[in-house]
Amino acid sequence: MARYIFVTGGVVSSLGKGLSSASLAYLLKSQGYKVRIRKMDPYLNVDPGTMSPFQHGEVFVTDDGAETDLDLGHYERFTNISSKQSDNITTGKIYSDVIKMERQGGYLGKTVQVIPHITDRIKKFISKDISNEDFVICEIGGTVGDIESLPFLEAIRQFSNDHGRSRSLFVHLTLVPFMKSSDEIKTKPTQHSVKELRSIGIQPDIVICRSEQHIPLEQRKKISLFCNVDIENVIETVDVKTIYEAPISFYNQKLDKQVLKYFKIKSKKKPNLNPWKNITSTVLKNNKEINIGIIGKYVNLKDAYKSLDEALTHGGIANNVKVNLVRIESDKLKKNEVSKKLKSVSGILIPGGFGKRGTEGKIAAIKFAREKKIPFFGICFGMQMAIIEFARNKLNIKNASSTEFDKKCFPVIGLIHEWNRNGKVFKGTEKNLGGTMRLGLYTAKLKNNSAIKKIYKSNEIKERHRHRYEVNNNQRSKFEKKGLIFSGMSPDNKLPEIIELKNHPWFIGVQFHPEFKSRPLSPHPLFKSFIKASKNYHGK
């Protein structure tokens, strides 16, 4: 029977609940247990798919096509367990399900209320789709004290009553600040946060204290006393130099040991921390450094390209090189400044994106990469921009563009006509924007003798997608005659999935998002190869 671990956060946001949950999941998994991690988000959007990355950071896409919170990316990267549609829920989704049911007459005669109808729905989500898992870790988004997260906290309180305390554990993550002026570590914010949690009926079993420095025993005792938590269950998490150290740090702090002790079970085997030790030392070593230019619209927000940044770092780990990300705002990149602004980079990457703003800067950067033979990697929107650049400058179609932002153009990129998923046909639409893109895992066939086939060492690949527009396949022969090869196609040969340039050291565009499948312990082949090519780039 599954045991449930609920992770809440207090005092401030961005304390690293996702990373803590992911590290705990790794530690439990590597001791022989089957683990699942899920996230509950208190906002009203049905999913983050319609939110700007400025609001919510990256939208992470699962194999089964869910647009989810970026914490699910952390979970996958640390545990290598693929998340599912059923692993992320929002207030919006809960309410829309309940209201739909009400309209169908599902509650006939009853007044529909937050308690019990919304909380029941949340409880159903928590245990949905769980079979032989030993542990289900549920992270609750937001901070204790927010109005929005109340129904979730009430639901987990009820859940632990329903299933018994022996099957549910509450972990609360708080901040323990250091006051420079008085040279003191302060426990009061933690006390208040736990008090808030207790006022809604939740007594945490473990308190994880995020701190800039080691928390002395005296302060830990204080937290233990005031928060009513066993001293051994006051776990400190001191800022780590790289996130790959997190599982090691939590192991040293005995987080996994205390969790197993709580549930009165034993470790099946010693967790293997060597892979994390190895990559931590590689990352912290003074390796050769290379600069990769990322030209995008959301470069000023740290989390907007989370998986991409991680995947590039993984590529660096595989090549023993430190990858510096040089973020360049696409709409500030003027044509005549490209060579100056990109002077120091050994590779150029255009990530996924939406809308017209900044496209001309991206196109100018691609032209520069193509002509100067600098390694170029175009992801999703980046591949579409590479097609536009080539059409304009090599095929001489001056008004070539995408119907996404120019309805009167020569459409080298247009709305996807239709696609097939598990035997069902879907059609592209610009009307209902929520959840209607071509989402999730799709197969691509790779062309013989192509660069891409050498990189993947396979005839067929499966990668995650998130797009509404596609490369116009009718123009294929024109592109290929001039050296831009469509080297990956959907199995029915209708959707271009990969493009590559002949006579260029490394120029590849992909319609999918390989960054979602890269893992620190198994870097993605495309990122590995791109960083290798960039490391070998001696031009300029």
- Beta carbon nearer to ligand GLN, 321 or 380: 380
The distance of closest approach from Cβ of residue 495 to ligand GLN in the complex, given in angstroms and rounded to an integer, is: 11
- Beta carbon nearer to ligand GLN, 66 or 202: 66
b/e burial code for range 420-437 (CB count within 10 A of at least 16 → b): eeeeeeeebeeeeeeeeb
Q: Please tell me the distance from the alpha carbon of residue 527 to that of residue 217, in angstroms, as a whole number.
A: 44
Stretch that binds ligand GLN, among 79-87, 363-371, 464-472, 528-536 (CB under 6 A): 464-472
* Binding residue for ligand GLN, selected from 468, 476, 478, 494, defined by CB under 6 A: 468
Q: What angle in degrees, to the nearest 10, is found between the helix axes of 17-29 and 71-79?
A: 20
Residues facing residue 322 across a β-bridge: 289
According to the binding rule CB under 6 A, does residue 467 interact with ligand GLN? yes
Collapsing DSSP to helix, strand or coil, 11 comes out as coil
The distance of closest approach from Cβ of residue 383 to ligand GLN in the complex, given in angstroms and rounded to an integer, is: 8
Instruction: Compute CA distances 360 → 326, 382, 386, whole Å.
Output: 19, 12, 11
Site of tokens 């989402």: 439
On whether the CB atoms of residues 377 and 390 are closer than 8 A, the answer is: no
Active-site residue among 245, 404, 470, 515? 515
- Beta carbon nearer to ligand GLN, 271 or 378: 378
Rounded to a whole number of angstroms, the distance between the first and last alpha carbons of the chain is 60
Angle at 364 between CA 360 and CA 365, to 5 degrees: 120
Q: What type of residue is 133?
A: E
The distance of closest approach from Cβ of residue 329 to ligand GLN in the complex, given in angstroms and rounded to an integer, is: 17
According to the binding rule CB under 6 A, does residue 352 interact with ligand GLN? yes
According to the binding rule CB under 6 A, does residue 380 interact with ligand GLN? yes
- Beta carbon nearer to ligand GLN, 59 or 94: 59
Q: What angle in degrees, to the nearest 10, is found between the helix axes of 91-103 and 150-163?
A: 80
According to the binding rule CB under 6 A, does residue 517 interact with ligand GLN? no
Stretch that binds ligand GLN, among 183-191, 290-298, 352-360, 498-506 (CB under 6 A): 352-360
Q: Please tell me the distance from the alpha carbon of residue 383 to that of residue 465, in angstroms, as a whole number.
A: 13
According to the binding rule CB under 6 A, does residue 354 interact with ligand GLN? yes
On whether the CB atoms of residues 278 and 483 are closer than 8 A, the answer is: no
According to the binding rule CB under 6 A, does residue 362 interact with ligand GLN? no
The distance of closest approach from Cβ of residue 2 to ligand GLN in the complex, given in angstroms and rounded to an integer, is: 35
Stretch that binds ligand GLN, among 37-45, 222-230, 460-468, 515-523 (CB under 6 A): 460-468
**Catalytic annotation present for 138:** no
According to the binding rule CB under 6 A, does residue 426 interact with ligand GLN? no
**Catalytic annotation present for 465:** no
- Beta carbon nearer to ligand GLN, 77 or 467: 467
Active-site residue among 380, 465, 467, 497? 380
* Binding residue for ligand GLN, selected from 159, 456, 469, 486, defined by CB under 6 A: 469
Binding mask 75-114 for ligand GLN (x = CB under 6 A): ----------------------------------------
Phi, psi torsion values for 496, nearest 5 degrees: -65, 130
Kindly write down the DSSP assignment for every residue of 410-444, as one continuous string.
EEEEEE--EEEETTEEEE--SS--TT-SEEEEEEE
Residue spans of beta strands (DSSP E) within 239-373:
288-296, 321-329, 347-350
The distance of closest approach from Cβ of residue 186 to ligand GLN in the complex, given in angstroms and rounded to an integer, is: 43
Stretch that binds ligand GLN, among 118-126, 155-163, 217-225, 349-357 (CB under 6 A): 349-357
* Binding residue for ligand GLN, selected from 353, 361, 375, 509, defined by CB under 6 A: 353
Q: Please tell me the distance from the alpha carbon of residue 7 to that of residue 22, in angstroms, as a whole number.
A: 11
Active-site residue among 74, 467, 504, 513? 513
Angle at 18 between CA 131 and CA 254, to 5 degrees: 85
* Binding residue for ligand GLN, selected from 256, 310, 404, 515, defined by CB under 6 A: 404
- Beta carbon nearer to ligand GLN, 23 or 330: 330
Cα–chain center distance at 110:
40
The distance of closest approach from Cβ of residue 391 to ligand GLN in the complex, given in angstroms and rounded to an integer, is: 16
**Which residue is nearest to ligand GLN, using beta carbons?**
352
Binding mask 192-221 for ligand GLN (x = CB under 6 A): ------------------------------
The distance of closest approach from Cβ of residue 311 to ligand GLN in the complex, given in angstroms and rounded to an integer, is: 15
Instruction: Compute CA distances 227 → 149, 177, 191, 250, whole Å.
Output: 21, 17, 6, 21
The distance of closest approach from Cβ of residue 378 to ligand GLN in the complex, given in angstroms and rounded to an integer, is: 10
CA dihedral 58, 60, 66, 68 (to 10 degrees): -60
Collapsing DSSP to helix, strand or coil, 490 comes out as coil
Residue 215 has what DSSP assignment? Answer: P
* Binding residue for ligand GLN, selected from 43, 381, 512, 537, defined by CB under 6 A: 381
**Which residues 6+ apart lie within 8 Å of 153 measured at CB?**
8, 140, 144, 197, 200, 202
**Catalytic annotation present for 515:** yes
The distance of closest approach from Cβ of residue 389 to ligand GLN in the complex, given in angstroms and rounded to an integer, is: 15
Active site residues per annotation: 380, 513, 515
Q: Which residues would be at the binding site for ligand GLN (CB under 6 A)?
A: 352-354, 380-381, 404, 466-469
